C-alpha cells in the first residue's frame, strides 16, 4: 500500500478540500485534527484520522511518521486576539517548526506549506511589480505577521535539513465544497 499524504488542519476550509481532492485522485490520506474537532466530515471521505496539536512536537512527529508527503494547512485564522503573540503568532511559528522538523526527520518526499498572499504585500505604484520573492515589510494584521514568520521558519528548517519544501500563497478562498466555510466566504450576517 502507498504511503499516505498527511494534511494538517484537515478539518479547516482548505485542509478539508485538499483531503477531498486527494481522495478523489485515489490517494491515501491521513488527516490531522485537534482532539476537539468534529471528525464526521473527514470520516465521510474515508481518510485516516489522527488527533493532535501541531504545538506538540511529539504529536506532530507521530502524525508525520510513515507518510510520503505533507500538506501543512493548520493555522489559527484569527485577525485579533487578547494575546496575539500567544494565540496567533506562536502557534503559526512553533507549530510550523514542529511539523517541518518532523517531516525532515521522517524523510518525507516533500512538504507543501500553506501561507497567504498577505505575506507578499503589495505595490504602492503600478511600476513596481510584487511577486513571491517579495515579503511584506510591515504586516498589517497579527495573522499575516504570524504567517510571514512561520514561512521564514519553514524555509530555514528546510534549508538546514535538506527537506524539499514549497509554499502556496493563496488568497481568501471560497471553495464550492467544504466541511466548514471560511470566514472569508461567509456574508456578515451568516
| Residues labelled as active-site residues | 147
Q: Among residues 104, 72, 96, 103, which one has the least CA distance to residue 148?
A: 96
Distance of CA 126 to the CA centre of its chain: 31
- What distance in Å separates the CA atoms of residue 102 and residue 71, rounded to the nearest whole number? 13
Residue 6 and residue 3: Cα distance in Å, rounded?
A: 9
Alpha helices in the chain (DSSP H): 13-24, 40-45, 57-64, 84, 90-106, 142-161
Amino acid at each position: 500500500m502507498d504511503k499516505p499524504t498527511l494534511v494538517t488542519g484537515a478539518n479547516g476550509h482548505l485542509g478539508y478540500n485538499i483531503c477531498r481532492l486527494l481522495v478523489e485522485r485515489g490517494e491515501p490520506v491521513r488527516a490531522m485534527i485537534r482532539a476537539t474537532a468534529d471528525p464526521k466530515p473527514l470520516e465521510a471521505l474515508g481518510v485516516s484520522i489522527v488527533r493532535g496539536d501541531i504545538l506538540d512536537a511529539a504529536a506532530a512527529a507521530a502524525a508525520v511518521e510513515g507518510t510520503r508527503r505533507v500538506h501543512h494547512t493548520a493555522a489559527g485564522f484569527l485577525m485579533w486576539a487578547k494575546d496575539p503573540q500567544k494565540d496567533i503568532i506562536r502557534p503559526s511559528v512553533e507549530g510550523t517548526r514542529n511539523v517541518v522538523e518532523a517531516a525532515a526527520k521522517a524523510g518525507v518526499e516533500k512538504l507543501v506549506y500553506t501561507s497567504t498572499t498577505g505575506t507578499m504585500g503589495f505595490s504602492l505604484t503600478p511600476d513596481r511589480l510584487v511577486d513571491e520573492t517579495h515579503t511584506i515589510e510591515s504586516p498589517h494584521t497579527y495573522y499575516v505577521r504570524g504567517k510571514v514568520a512561520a514561512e521564514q521558519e519553514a524555509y530555514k528548517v528546510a534549508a538546514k535539513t535538506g527537506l524539499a519544501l514549497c509554499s502556496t500563497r493563496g488568497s481568501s478562498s471560497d471553495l464550492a465544497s467544504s466541511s466548514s466555510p471560511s470566514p472569508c466566504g461567509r456574508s456578515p450576517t451568516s
